[in-house]
Amino acid sequence: MLNLRQQGVLRAIVQDYIRTAEPVGSRTISRKYSFALSPASIRMIMADLEDSGYVTQTHTSSGRVPTDKGYRLYVDNLMDRAALTPAEVEKIEQHVGPPATEMDDLLKEAGKLLSLLSPYVAVALAPGLNESHFERVEFVSLAPTRVLVILLTDSGLVHHKHVLIEEPIKQEDLDRIGRFLCDLLKGRTLREMRDVLLSQMADEKAQYDRMLNQAIQIGRQVLDMDAEADVFVTGAAHIADQPEFADVQKMKGLYQAFEDKSKLIWLLSECIRDNACRVVIGREIPIQEIQDLSVVAAPYRRGGQIVGVVGILGPTRMEYGHTVALVETTATMLSRSLSEHAA
């Protein structure tokens, strides 16, 4: 596609633009980067790069700015992978290194960490109930017709919900129902549980079996609980420092997007399928409001299985090399920390 010289120039343009946020001119390239070429020759190459869509100009006589396509090539082929400094590694180990059991706390910590070590916005996707496998259920009777249901999943999540039932029920009956539901549903995802429960309801004999009836009544209320994964956004204020968002209205748009958790969840859930760190650049992001950003995201595991995603949102003009290293390391440490007690 591009010859070596063109690649070199593109690389220089991207790197310089990432540093300065200013359009890069031929003169800059020829001076600061060691091409044995005059500005005029660089201009030729730049014109080629522009024809192929890797760079653009903001106006007819300005320097060049990388396009999303340019960044893509840079990330895939041209970029140096930055190594983290010892200080950074240590910070990561301090924050998410120690074995932990409380998923939420640990993820919040990871978010803080990433937004501390990068000038961008950190995101962390917690495991969702929908994808987790049912492990166990416990009931706590609060009042004759009020029960606290506690749901445990294999991803280490604990969810609870208050449930109201029609007729009073004793703790021992609850225990029986618990054992029954556990046998019926163990190992299934929430989605599957829904199906099983619906088919049980359709079954005629359910009408007459009092316990089954109550079990289904409870199960139904539990299943329409908030099953979405949760996402934590940290360091959103960082983007105010990026010159591309110096305009208040643009910033507002981004903040609104950050508050709309469902879209972020969707975006990050896409990355959960990948095995390694993933970079999504600008228009490649399927969410309109944040198409001026890029995402660097890596999944983390608990006991071998991928359960969530941590990542960074920043301007497309982002220190990709450093950010990728940061996110990957954090995800790795997070996995280790979570798996320590997963037994």
Partner DNA sequence: CGTTGGCACTCTCTGATGTTGAGTGCCAGT
Partner DNA sequence: ACTGGCACTCAACATCAGAGAGTGCCAACG
Binding residues vs a copy of itself (CB under 8 A)? 101-102, 105, 136, 138, 140, 142-143, 146, 148, 150, 152, 158, 160-162, 164, 226, 234-237, 240-241, 245-249, 251-253, 255-256, 259, 341, 343
Q: According to CB under 7 A, which residues from 52 to 71 bind DNA? A: 57-64
Q: Which helix (H) or strand (E) holds 175?
A: helix 171-185
The CA-atom distances, in angstroms, between 35 and each of 39, 42, 71, 206, 284 are 10, 9, 21, 79, 32
Least CB distance from residue 283 to a copy of itself, whole Å?
A: 23
Q: Which of a copy of itself, DNA, none does 195 bind, CB closer than 5 to 8 A by kind?
A: none
Least CB distance from residue 25 to DNA, whole Å?
A: 3
Q: Which of 138, 133, 183, 136 is nearest to 154 (CA)?
A: 133
Least CB distance from residue 102 to a copy of itself, whole Å?
A: 6
Residue holding tokens 């859930």?
Answer: 269
Q: According to CB under 7 A, which residues from 16 to 35 bind DNA? A: 22-28
Please identify, using beta-carbon distances, which residue of 83 and 240 lies nearer to a copy of itself: 240
Tell me the one-letter amino acid at 101: T
Contact 302, 322 (CB under 8 A): no
- Distance between CA 75 and CA 164 in Å, rounded? 54
Q: Which of DNA, a copy of itself, none does 83 bind, CB closer than 5 to 8 A by kind?
A: none
The site for DNA, by CB under 7 A, has a size of 26
Q: Which of 159, 111, 104, 99 is nearest to 135 (CA)?
A: 159
Is 10 one of the binding residues for DNA (CB under 7 A)?
A: no
Please identify, using beta-carbon distances, which residue of 83 and 158 lies nearer to a copy of itself: 158
Least CB distance from residue 136 to a copy of itself, whole Å?
A: 8
Q: Which residues contact 234 (CB under 8 A, 6 or more apart)?
A: 108, 111, 112, 114, 115, 121, 122, 123, 124
Q: Which of DNA, a copy of itself, none does 40 bind, CB closer than 5 to 8 A by kind?
A: DNA
Which of 19, 21, 32, 40 touches DNA (CB under 7 A)? 40
CB atoms within 10 A of CB 328: 17
Record the tokens describing residue 262, joined without a space.
Answer: 């469902």
Least CB distance from residue 178 to a copy of itself, whole Å?
A: 11
Please identify, using beta-carbon distances, which residue of 41 and 305 lies nearer to DNA: 41
- Distance between CA 282 and CA 228 in Å, rounded? 26
Size of the chain in residues: 343
Please identify, using beta-carbon distances, which residue of 38 and 171 lies nearer to DNA: 38
Give the binding site for DNA (CB under 7 A). 22-28, 36-41, 43-44, 46-47, 50, 57-64
